[in-house]
A and B are shown apart, each in its own frame.
Chain A
Amino acid sequence: MLAIELKNLSKNFKGKKVVDNLNFGLKQGELLALLGENGAGKSTTINMLCGLTKPTSGDAYILGKSVVNDVFEVKKLINVSPQEIALGNKISIKENLELVARIYGDNKIEAEKKSRVMLEKLKLTEKANEKVKTLSGGMQRKLSIGMALISEPKVLFLDEPTVGLDVRTRNELWKTIEKLKGKVTIILTTHYLEEAQALADKIIIINKGRIKSEGVASKIIEDAGAKNFEEAFLKLTEKEVL
Chain B
Amino acid sequence: MKFLPFANRNLKEIIRDPLSIFFGVGFPVIIMILLTQLQKNIKGMPEDIFSIQAFAPGITVFGLGFLSLFLGILMATDRESYFLQRLFSSPLKSQHYIIGYLIPLIPIGILQASVCFAVAIGLGLSLDVNIIFAIISMIPVILLFTSFGMLFGVLLNQKQVGGAGSILVNAVAWLSGVWFSLDMVGGTYKVICEILPFYHAVQIIKKALAGEIIYSLLNFFVVIAYAIIIYVISAIIFHKKMQN
Contacts and interface: CB of A to CB of B under 8 A. Distances in A.
Interface of A: 50-54, 72, 75-76, 78-80, 82-91, 95, 98-100, 102-105, 111, 147, 151, 157
Contact of A76 (B4, B6, B91): B91
B2 A103 contact: yes
Interface string B166-188: 00000000000000000000000
Nearest to A103: B90
B13 interface: yes
Given A98-B5, A102-B4, 8 more contacts: A75-B89, A76-B91, A84-B82, A86-B81, A88-B83, A103-B5, A103-B6, A104-B90
Contacts of B8: 99
Interface of B: 2, 4-6, 8-9, 12-13, 16-17, 77, 81-83, 85-93, 243-244
A82 B243 CA distance: 17
A226 B86 CA distance: 38
B82 A86 contact: yes
A86 B13 contact: no
B85 A86 contact: yes
A186 B166 CA distance: 46
A52 B242 CA distance: 7
Contacts of B82: 82-86
Contact of B91 (A75, A87, A89, A157): A75
Nearest to B2: A103
Given A99-B9, A103-B92, A104-B91, A86 B86 contact: yes
Most chain B CB inside 10 Å of its own CB: which residue of A79, A89, A98, A103: A103
Given A84-B82, A86-B81, A95-B12, A50 B89 contact: yes
A55 to B, nearest CB: 12
Contacts of A85: 82
B17 A90 contact: yes
Contacts of B86: 80, 82, 86, 147
B81 A99 contact: no
B83 A87 contact: yes
Contacts of A88: 9, 13, 83
Contacts of A89: 13, 77, 81
Given A54-B243, A103-B5, A90 B91 contact: no
Contacts of A102: 4-5
Most chain A CB inside 10 Å of its own CB: which residue of B4, B83, B92: B83
Given A89-B13, A90-B12, A51 B83 contact: no
28 contacts: A51-B89, A52-B85, A52-B88, A54-B243, A72-B91, A80-B86, A82-B82, A82-B86, A83-B82, A86-B81, A86-B83, A86-B86, A87-B83, A89-B13, A90-B13, A90-B17, A95-B12, A99-B8, A99-B9, A102-B4, A103-B2, A103-B6, A103-B87, A103-B91, A104-B90, A104-B91, A105-B91, A157-B89
A105 B90 CA distance: 10
Contacts of B5: 98-99, 102-103, 111
Contacts of B4: 102
Nearest to B83: A86
Contacts of A104: 90-91
B89 A72 contact: no
Contacts of B77: 89
A54 B83 CA distance: 20
A91 B74 CA distance: 13
Nearest to A46: B89
A85 B82 CA distance: 8
Contacts of A103: 2, 5-6, 87, 90-92
Contacts of A53: 244
A147 B89 CA distance: 12
A104 B13 CA distance: 20
A64 B93 CA distance: 21
Contacts of B2: 103
A53 B12 CA distance: 30
Given A99-B9, A102-B5, A90 B16 contact: yes
Closest 3 CB pairs of A and B: A102-B5, A84-B82, A86-B82
Contacts of A82: 82, 85-86
